[in-house]
Structure 1
Amino acid sequence: MTTTHARTTPPMISTGEATAILPTETTAPIKVIGTEAIRETFDDLCIQQAINSRTAPGVTDVVLNPDAHCGYGAPVGCVMVSPSHVYPGPVGVDIKCSMSLLQLDVPADVIEDRKTRRALIAAICKRTPTGAGKGQRSVPNGRRVNRTLGMQAVIEGASESVCEQLGIPSNWADRCEDSFHVGHDDTRDALASRLDWLTDQRHMTNFSDKMTQLGSYGGGNHFGECEVVEIGDDDRSKSVAETFGLRDGKVAFLSHCGSRGFGHNLASGQFKALQEKFSRWNIPLPAGDRQLVYAPLGSEEANHYLDDMALGANFATVNHLLINALVLEAFQEVIPGTTGDLVYFISHNIARKEIVNNVPSWVHRKGATRAFPGGHHALVGTPFAHTGHPILLPGNPRDGSAVMVADEGAEQSCFSVNHGAGRVLGRKQAKRTLDQSTIDSELEDHDILSNCRFYPKDEAPAAYKDFNEVLASVKKAGLASEVARLKARFVIKDASKADD
């Protein structure tokens, strides 16, 4: 679905079939990735947020990806680079919202029977709760996470000890973009000290309850999705897929979630603290937007934010790995003898320290995915040094999702691509305009099952951009190539909201 808008913001200037620039009055232009059809989906607020972000203090680069839409201060679907400042807005309230993919050895025909898929949905839902506030206490077959283990997890991330206690295969840590995060001074001690302080604060008195959310999806656009892997028939796709551990015609499981209530508490506390300081010190806000508060690197405020972001990111990492371990258990319950391995775990809401234009910088990816090609210095010593790492891009159940790999051209976008399809309808608009029976019948026509009695209107395929056009933008811009398509067989969403 493509929506056109009358422009009141500066026009984008095409520089290629799927690239453009967006000028500002005071800085170098914003880089835009997207075909003409995709660029028409960027509304004025999205474009204005991109301009506000580019002209904010210390920002050297902004990239607008094809899935871009308005977000919190900065657009969702953008990359924002600064060597001197950190910005909470371009990370957002769901710190390290991420994707992970579990490859199973189950042939597709084994789950063709709808009763088998229903049994799998039930077995997974007994282990991985969905819905705001839901945690492991609300399911019978989950993991019990006490306060002590929760503290260790957010300080250490996917350490060998944390993985062992939670029943997570320790080698899965090698399949993570980042299996752990450290504090502002590159130590765990900074995180331990910060956590001690945080747990005495009013907004973190529910810390123990938030730790019980490890191993859960939450609500909104988060999901678990059973897939069938279809690897491309070209030689490169087959070779890269082998390195990734993808298996053609076999079942895989794709997950999307983040740092849950813990991350939200951390981010909300940071926004409140920084906004109060801007107000007290009478510091001008970028474009007058309270959501674009920032902290100069080296300041106490920046150190606190980086520590809080790392704590939330460690929670998200362990959360994903635990979900995958629980999903594997569920498959083993229904299909005895099932084995599985993690393909990759990668974030799309994080700030990472990277080299951009030969300058050490903080790359803020808000709804954007890292895309390092083979030969990138940061991949040395990883399983993906020669191929580039997996890029996991969710589309929608009808059109599938994609596994891609970066090409050399990714350098032009600060080694980043989109994080999915991107919304074309706001949640309220989707609920108001989309037809429930049409949504449900479309999934039924594609033989896609769900744990929801009624699939959420605001998560329907029609609420999102044309996924194939989004992928075409990435390919035509020379950023990445598709390795495999993932075809949905069932979806797990927040059933409590869907059934309201």
Structure 2
Amino acid sequence: MGKKLNGRDLIKLGFPKDNSINIALGQIYRYRKGEKKEVVLAEAKEVLVTPEKFTNHRTWGKLAEGLLNQVEVKMHQLLNCGVPFSVFGENEIDEQAKRQLYDALKLPVAVQGALMPDAHCGYGLPIGGVLATDDAVIPYGVGVDIGCRMSLSVFNLSASYMNGKNDMLKKILLEHTKFGKNGVHKIKADHAIFSRDEFREIPFVKSLLDKAYKQLGTSGGGNHFVELGIVDILEDIPGNKLEKGSYLGVLSHSGSRGLGSSIAKHYTYLATKQCPLPKNVQHLAWLGMSGHDGQEYWRAMNLAGDYAKACHDNIHARIAKALGEQVVLNIENHHNFAWKELVNGMECIVHRKGATPAGEGQLGIIPGSMTAPGYIVMGKGNLDSLQSASHGAGRLFSRTKCKTRFTHSDIRKTLKDNDVTLIGGGVDEAPMAYKDINTVMGLQEELVSVLGTFTPKIVRMEK
């Protein structure tokens, strides 16, 4: 931008000496860096004179909003008493996770909360926390891995198909799944999602297009996995063509990769600048849904959620092709997301940080651990849980504690005892790190009905 543009240049144009200067500089350095200074200043002058013309502009919309609504940025105070909430499986949840929810319930935008039986301490909201807010979205209430999801595909192959094929199936997982920051497929796949308007109309998201293209059909590290195993259909599943019985299935757990992580960090930064909060809840800064950044985050979040689905679809398609079979049943659901839903007749933003949507009749999959079954479920629409259920068994031991408590030898023994083959994985993801999934499921019988199970047999994770 030649000579660096600064606040004095904007004051000379007639900008008021308030937060609008900071907004303008932020937008310029974020989206117009490298352009001629006089061109940028000429545009900034136009925005100053006629801000109403720029309210939905990709670069200047936020500045226009600031000029039209001279709102002073000030510290938000918490409510003295939290809004109503429910806790499911209280005796299975650590005190720190409960405290995180109690703090969130005192946000001035909070409407109602809930804690699932797999809950444990997180960042911002606890994992397993659900929070409904009024006209506000909390980026860290959604989480860093936006749209992280479970996806279960079932093939019209008897479970006995796996007998004697362990090496072949291991090879399929090794060749057709990729994990971690640098895990990419040699042969890239195109997808309609890359033509979405968000990649053209939101400057920050546009910068992530190349990364999203490279990572399509891959999985993250940590507790993300792709598993081949046995699906037992125990009850009638709406839309299912298969009879009750045991089948071969593939279950995957991953999210929106670098796209979602970058979106989460970017908009959390913007939220913390606009919404100062006391230190104990500073990661719960929100964006107003009617504001420029709130609307932009909402679009970006939904894009990331759809991208996560596209990644799962690609993974399952690759495995189906390698097997020479078609998927006859797929059950999937997001967690780490926010939805517009009615709560006591009021439209709210419902954040599910590691919680499964469980509206009446809604299908989902709740995994156990690599040596414990997952459950195909149908939601009961329980209003006390904000129509939610757990997203898994939940951690019993942190990653740090796992490294001092368990050994590779311990893991190998547990895997052998349960007839499970593991490719990759670390001590921090030891099956013993998780709560008993059967206990967790027993604590949410009023939230979901069980229609079937998935038992892992070959598990692939990041090495």
Give 1:435 deviation, angstroms. Answer: 2.3
Among candidates 392, 407, 431, match of residue 435 of structure 1: 407
Contact 1:231/1:241, CA 8 A, preserved across alignment: no
Post-superposition Cα deviations, 1:228-251, rounded to whole Å, max 9, x if no partner, equal 12233xxxx2x2377475752111
Contact 1:229/1:247, CA 8 A, preserved across alignment: no
Match of 2:87 in 1: 32
Post-superposition Cα deviations, 1:21-40, rounded to whole Å, max 9, x if no partner, equal xxx95133321011xxxx23
Equivalent position SS for 2:125: coil
- More displaced, 342-351 or 269-278? 269-278
CA distance in 2, matches of 1:197, 1:457: 36
CA distance in 2, matches of 1:267, 1:342: 32
Give 1:339 deviation, angstroms. Answer: 3.0
Match of 1:483, as an amino acid?
L
Among candidates 272, 277, 292, match of residue 284 of structure 2: 292
Post-superposition Cα deviations, 1:209-236, rounded to whole Å, max 9, x if no partner, equal 332111011211110111212233xxxx
Alignment of 1:185-196 (within 5 A): 189=197, 191-196=198-203
CA distance in 2, matches of 1:299, 1:215: 33
Among candidates 290, 301, 313, match of residue 309 of structure 1: 301
Contact 1:67/1:420, CA 8 A, preserved across alignment: yes
Among candidates 471, 483, 486, match of residue 451 of structure 2: 483
Contact 2:305/2:334, CA 8 A, preserved across alignment: no
Change over 3 Å in CA distance of 1:231–1:47 after alignment to 2: same
Among candidates 227, 231, 238, match of residue 229 of structure 1: 231
Among candidates 379, 388, 394, match of residue 422 of structure 1: 394
Contact 1:194/1:307, CA 8 A, preserved across alignment: no
Change over 3 Å in CA distance of 1:198–1:396 after alignment to 2: closer
Post-superposition Cα deviations, 1:349-383, rounded to whole Å, max 9, x if no partner, equal 1101111211111111110111122xxxxxxxxxx
CA distance in 2, matches of 1:312, 1:296: 19
Unmatched runs of 5 consecutive residues or more in structure 1: 1-23, 138-142, 157-188, 333-337, 374-387, 496-500
Among candidates 426, 436, 439, match of residue 456 of structure 1: 426
CA distance in 1, matches of 2:136, 2:176: 40
Give 1:494 deviation, angstroms. Answer: 0.7
Post-superposition Cα deviations, 1:243-293, rounded to whole Å, max 9, x if no partner, equal 475752111111101101111111111122222344xxxx3x155433111
CA distance in 1, matches of 2:377, 2:369: 16
Alignment of 1:62-77 (within 5 A): 62-77=113-128
Change over 3 Å in CA distance of 1:220–1:245 after alignment to 2: farther
CA distance in 2, matches of 1:133, 1:247: 41
Contact 2:82/2:102, CA 8 A, preserved across alignment: no
- Say if 2:188 is the partner of 1:144: yes
Match of 1:458, as an amino acid?
D
Contact 2:132/2:348, CA 8 A, preserved across alignment: yes
CA distance in 2, matches of 1:412, 1:44: 21
Change over 3 Å in CA distance of 1:277–1:220 after alignment to 2: same
User: Normalized against structure 2, the TM-score is what?
Assistant: 0.79
Match of 2:111 in 1: 60
Contact 2:337/2:353, CA 8 A, preserved across alignment: yes
CA distance in 1, matches of 2:407, 2:354: 27
Contact 1:101/1:344, CA 8 A, preserved across alignment: yes
Unmatched runs of 5 consecutive residues or more in structure 2: 1-78
Give 1:57 deviation, angstroms. Answer: 2.1
Contact 2:340/2:348, CA 8 A, preserved across alignment: yes
CA distance in 1, matches of 2:241, 2:123: 34
Give 1:131 deviation, angstroms. Answer: 2.1
The aligned length equals 385
Alignment of 1:103-142 (within 5 A): 103-113=154-164, 116-137=165-186
Equivalent position SS for 2:122: coil
CA distance in 1, matches of 2:315, 2:149: 12
Return the structure number with greater relative CO, CA threshold 8 A, min gap 6. 1
Give 1:78 deviation, angstroms. Answer: 1.2
CA distance in 2, matches of 1:398, 1:355: 38
- Say if 2:342 is the partner of 1:355: yes
- More displaced, 244-253 or 428-437? 244-253
Equivalent position SS for 2:167: helix
Structure ID, larger Rg: 2
Match of 2:332 in 1: 345
Alignment of 1:78-89 (within 5 A): 78-89=129-140
Equivalent position SS for 2:443: helix
Post-superposition Cα deviations, 1:306-329, rounded to whole Å, max 9, x if no partner, equal 122122112111111111111111
CA distance in 1, matches of 2:245, 2:200: 47
Equivalent position SS for 2:104: helix
Match of 1:117, as an amino acid?
N
Contact 2:231/2:453, CA 8 A, preserved across alignment: yes
Contact 1:244/1:343, CA 8 A, preserved across alignment: no
Post-superposition Cα deviations, 1:453-492, rounded to whole Å, max 9, x if no partner, equal xx421112210111110000011xx111111121111111
Equivalent position SS for 1:266: helix
- Say if 2:149 is the partner of 1:98: yes
Contact 1:52/1:286, CA 8 A, preserved across alignment: no
Match of 1:275 in 2: 272
Equivalent position SS for 2:457: strand
Match of 1:447 in 2: 419
Give 1:193 deviation, angstroms. Answer: 4.4
Contact 2:172/2:322, CA 8 A, preserved across alignment: yes
Give 1:194 deviation, angstroms. Answer: 3.4
Equivalent position SS for 2:215: coil
Match of 2:219, as an amino acid?
Y
Alignment of 1:347-386 (within 5 A): 347-373=334-360
